[in-house]
Amino acid sequence: MVSRLSLPGVVFSIFLISSCFPCQAQLSSNFYDSTCPNALTTIRTAIRRAVSSERRMAASLIRLHFHDCFVQGCDTSIMLDNSPSIDSEKFSFVNNNSIRGFEVIDGAKAQVESICPGVVSCADIAAVAARDASVAVGGPSWTVRLGRRDSTKASRSLADSNIPRATNSFSELIDMFSRKGLSERDMVALSGSHSIGQARCVTFRARIHDNSSDIDAGFASTRRRSCPSTSGDGNNNLAPLDLVTPNCLDNNYFRNLIQRRGLLQSDQVLFSGQSTDSIVTEYSRNPSLFSTDFAAAMLRMGDIEPLTGSQGEIRRVCSVVN
């Protein structure tokens, strides 16, 4: 029997179908082709210069994009300074004295503003910067989808509740990534960014001093030299997340996990008898697969709840609303 729908029913059905497509469908790789054709080249030059000056900056820019996207979506709310109406995410527990690279995004934004005022969002610049930072340290490239707009608000409380911490358990990490629409494979691939960068002693002190069975004894001993057991002593001392190739975005991170040499507890839990063990093993053996999956996961992460159309604004300066 052929069913009949009333006009209101048809309209409602169309609404339901259209609501299944998230707003990131509005993002496009050629979004600025006509309005600011030199935007991507300008950003790439700025990022290359910054990473050439300090290799660690590549990790910081990827991390900045990650921490932004996990709070309110990829809207650069993370870059807003405190104001009477803004409770800055920069000073949340997970970001304070940890997130870096703001000045690099600000510099790239200023250069883009000089050629195309009020056109390119800080959110898009942060997304492109993460890709260009990856390429600058030997990691994969991907075609960034563009068209994000910038938030006019921030949330310190959401930053503390949504951004993963070094002490999170496996189940907590799975839940955090799942809530953002990211799979276990996405989570493991994105964690591979810890092949570059450094961590503060305060984030891994407990792991290297507890003599547990899930850490290689020699590795722990080496790391203790710059991270005393006394709380507060040497909190900000830095150690590379990957001792072997600390400035190259490669698959050595996964080999480290198999050898029980993950610096952060939240890294090692990915290879600890859990469902992600097989993914870690795959990536440790196949660098091309890791690169492909990392690029795909970065794309999916960059699509988390973007502001598009008339939402938000195009900030003239990334740290303040217009």
Residues with active-site annotation: 67
Give the H/E segment covering residue 317. Answer: none
Beta-carbon neighbour count of residue 211 at 10 Å? 8
d(CA 169, CA 175): 10
Residues 144 and 131: beta-carbon distance below 8 Å: yes
DSSP-assigned letter for residue 195:
G
Q: Which residue has the tokens 């000073």?
A: 91
Going by C-alpha positions, the residue among 172, 192, 131, 181 that lies closest to residue 306 is: 181
Is residue 270 a contact partner of residue 276, using CB atoms and an 8 Å limit?
Answer: yes
Per DSSP bridges, beta strands 198-200 and 238-240 are: antiparallel
Q: What would the two tokens of residue 52 be?
A: 């050439």
